[in-house]
């Protein structure tokens, strides 16, 4: 059973549908015991860093998420879910993230030539043998919707990068914790393959 953390995140339905298409049973919950007993856990997210952390804190989910990440079971953050795993974001200065991974969430710089937010498809440069990308061709195309991006402190956890006015750390992996800035659930066959790799961990 895969548990999807329900904190009013926005993209839960599309994540549920993608796993269902792959034949995987999911439960959408914020119940601590259900989350801790799930085989794998997903932290989805669309919206602002500050609002999301406020919801996570108000539902008492922060300590549960940290416990799950420390438990060794596979955990994946998607889009805003990636950003929340880090310590803080330029989007809402002063608001503390989950602090599970180290790095900075920065605003994508623009001189007016790039549209912010970035909405659309971009190719990934795969690196450091990420398990989510097993069996994928070089430079896979995936779907992004974001105004902020990750700059991880430890480059060895970065498994995919992309370029959009700046080098963006698009996916990370550290032990049992995985995260993607892009939306695998909206990235067609490639995205489904990434989710299948997560299922098979």
From the list 54, 82, 66, the residue with the least C-alpha distance to 148 is 82
pLDDT at 106: 97
Whether residue 186 contacts residue 13, with contact meaning beta carbons closer than 8 Å, is answered with no
pLDDT tens for each residue of the chain, 201 residues long:
999 999 987 779 999 999 999 999 999 999 999 999 999 999 998 889 999 999 999 999 999 999 999 999 999 999 999 999 999 999 999 999 999 999 999 999 987 788 999 999 999 999 999 999 999 988 999 999 999 999 999 999 999 999 999 999 999 999 999 999 999 999 999 999 999 999 999
Domain locations along the chain: 2-199
pLDDT at 57: 96
34-63 burial code (b ≥16 CB/10 A, e <16) = ebeebebbbbbbbebbebbbebbeeeebbe
CATH 3.30.565.10 fits 2-199, yes or no: no
Whether residue 7 contacts residue 28, with contact meaning beta carbons closer than 8 Å, is answered with no
pLDDT at 118: 94
Active site residues: 79, 183, 185
pTM above 0.75, yes or no: yes
**CA 72 to CA 69: how far, in whole Å?**
6
What sign for the dihedral angle of Cα 34, 95, 160, 78? positive
Non-local CB neighbours of 189 within 8 Å, separated by 6+ positions: none
């Amino acid at each position: 059973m895969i548990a999807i953390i329900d904190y009013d995140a926005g993209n839960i339905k599309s994540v549920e549908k993608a796993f269902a298409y792959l034949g995987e049973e999911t439960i959408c919950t914020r119940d601590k015991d259900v989350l801790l007993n799930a085989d794998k856990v997903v932290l989805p997210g669309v919206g602002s860093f500050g609002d999301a952390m406020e919801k996570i804190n108000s539902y008492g989910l922060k300590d549960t998420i940290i416990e799950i990440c420390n438990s060794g079971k596979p955990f994946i953050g998607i889009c805003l879910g990636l950003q929340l795993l880090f310590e803080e974001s330029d989007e809402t200065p002063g608001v503390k993230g989950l602090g599970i991974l180290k790095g900075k969430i920065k605003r994508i710089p623009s001189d007016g030539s790039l549209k912010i937010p970035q909405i659309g498809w971009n190719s990934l440069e795969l690196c450091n043998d990420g398990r989510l990308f097993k069996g994928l061709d070089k430079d896979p195309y995936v779907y992004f919707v974001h105004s902020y991006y990750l700059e991880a402190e430890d480059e060895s956890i970065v498994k995919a990068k992309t370029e959009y006015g700046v080098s963006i750390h698009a996916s990370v992996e550290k032990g049992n914790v995985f995260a993607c800035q892009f939306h695998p659930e909206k990235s067609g066959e490639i995205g489904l393959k990434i989710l299948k790799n997560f299922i098979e961990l």
